[in-house]
Structure 1
């Protein structure tokens, strides 16, 4: 098989092999495990405490906001490392420095906005 689609065929074969290995592992574990369900084993387990009430609980939005802020800082860090390598290359010094300060200014504006909206307060 040669041509344009040969590289796609290799990827498809590797994906099929990966799925087969995964499915074989699940099948073998299902065949080897003991299976003796009882009423106690089928109840919901919550840190050693018997469950009381419904399984629905609301969580505050600030936890999601902290998650988004973490993603912003992670993206910031991901862009800072390649910037450090490009900054050292000849001919990119001043332009790269200005671009990074513009990028950091946008990040700082986002943090300032979150701080002014009192998103960063834990309680």
Structure 2
């Protein structure tokens, strides 16, 4: 049984060794010529403007979390739809409950004003 996973283990060790050796070789052999233009922040080809560490609104994070939640819904919904004909009625009921819970969360966020960007 363990012999089936031996090639994967060898590949993982090989990838780890190559990655670490590249990092070490770059640290040893890499050119280090810092100068002011090289050390300046890069902002899409434009000269940097303003302070880089300004706080974001909590609304930004709330929208990001909502996006992730509904994106995960799509990740779970696609495999279920592909294998729908092989699944039984119980799987259909479970998906209806899953979508209902997500709709409750969506309406809760909507009522609380999470989608209002101010």
TM-score range, shorter chain: 0.7 to 0.9
CA-based RMSD: 3.0
1:119 counterpart SS class: coil
- The answer for the alignment partner of 2:112 in structure 1 is 117
Give the whole-Å Cα distance in 1 for the aligned partners of 2:37 and 2:70.
45
Larger relative contact order, structure 1 or 2 (CA cutoff 8 Å, min sep 6): 2
2:76 to 79, 98, 103: 79
Deviations 1:11-31 (A, max 9, x none): 553332112222343425973
- The answer for the alignment partner of 1:49 in structure 2 is 47
Runs of 4+ residues over 4 Å off in structure 1: 6-12, 50-53
TM-score (normalizing by structure 1): 0.70
TM-score (normalizing by structure 2): 0.73
Alpha-carbon distance, 1:72 to partner: 1.1
- The answer for the alignment partner of 2:36 in structure 1 is 39
Number of aligned positions between the proteins? 116
More helix by share: 2
Gaps of 5+ in 2: none
Alpha-carbon distance, 1:60 to partner: 0.9
Give the whole-Å Cα distance in 2 for the aligned partners of 1:95 and 1:83.
12
- The answer for the alignment partner of 1:107 in structure 2 is 102
**Are residues 8 and 88 of structure 1, via their aligned partners in 2, closer, same or farther at CA, if it must alter by over 3 Å?**
closer
**Are residues 34 and 106 of structure 1, via their aligned partners in 2, closer, same or farther at CA, if it must alter by over 3 Å?**
same
Is 1:63 aligned with 2:60? Answer: yes
